[in-house]
Structures are given as C-alpha cells and as structure tokens.
A = this chain, B = another copy of it.
C-alpha cells in the first residue's frame, strides 16, 4: 500500500476497473475487452490498484482473476464524513425552510 487511495482513484480508468470488478471478479483479458484499452495499460493500472490494496488477485491456470478489496476505500469515506454531514445539514435546513413555508 505504497500510495494512498485518493491518488489511485484520480485516474478515471482505474475507477472504471473498480466499478467493473465490483459487479464481478474478472480476468485481465475480460477487463481489456470491457474497457477497450490495451493489455499493458490494464495490467499497469491493476498493478497500481494492487499496490494500493484496492484489488487482490488469485491465479487460475494462465489467468489472473482480480477482485475488489474495499478496505482502503474506508480512508476515503472517513475523510468524506465531516463534509457529508455538512450537506445533510444543508438539506435539513432546506427541509425546515420548506416546512415553514406551508
């Protein structure tokens, strides 16, 4: 886990990879087909994701099957926490305002 999740998630392609793996684990080749990227590009992104602990992989014959590991995302969610309460606070205020209009 050399780099933090924020840095890794900055790349749209990596978020797409995660979004696909979230629905079903898959091999590198399947990701290549799904994302329309070259195989080395996909492998490199997977390397970064692995180093950040966001994916794990297991070997199945010649294939490597990748799956998501959400653990590092909790750091992102934790950072986001205070901000989330800010916009829910705003929503609450809006609701109160609307209520008072009736």
| CB–CB A71/B83 < 8 A | no
Instruction: List the one stretch of A3-11, A30-38, A57-65 in contact with chain B.
Output: A3-11
Q: Give the residues in chain B near A74, CB-CB below 8 Å.
A: 87
A3 to B68, CA, bound (A): 26
Determine how many copies of this chain the complex contains. Answer: 2
| CB–CB A86/B22 < 8 A | yes
Q: Which residue of B lies closest to A90 (CB)?
A: B70
Not counting A15-B79, A71-B87, a sample of 14 additional A-B residue pairs whose C-beta atoms are within 8 angstroms of each other reads A4-B12, A6-B6, A6-B10, A6-B12, A9-B10, A22-B82, A22-B86, A68-B86, A70-B87, A70-B90, A73-B83, A73-B87, A74-B87, A76-B80
Distance in Å: Cβ of A11 to nearest Cβ of chain B: 8
Asked if A77 is at the interface (CB within 8 A of a chain B CB), the reply is yes
Distance in Å: Cβ of A19 to nearest Cβ of chain B: 8
Q: Give the residues in chain B near A10, CB-CB below 8 Å.
A: 6-7, 9-10
| CB–CB A15/B6 < 8 A | yes
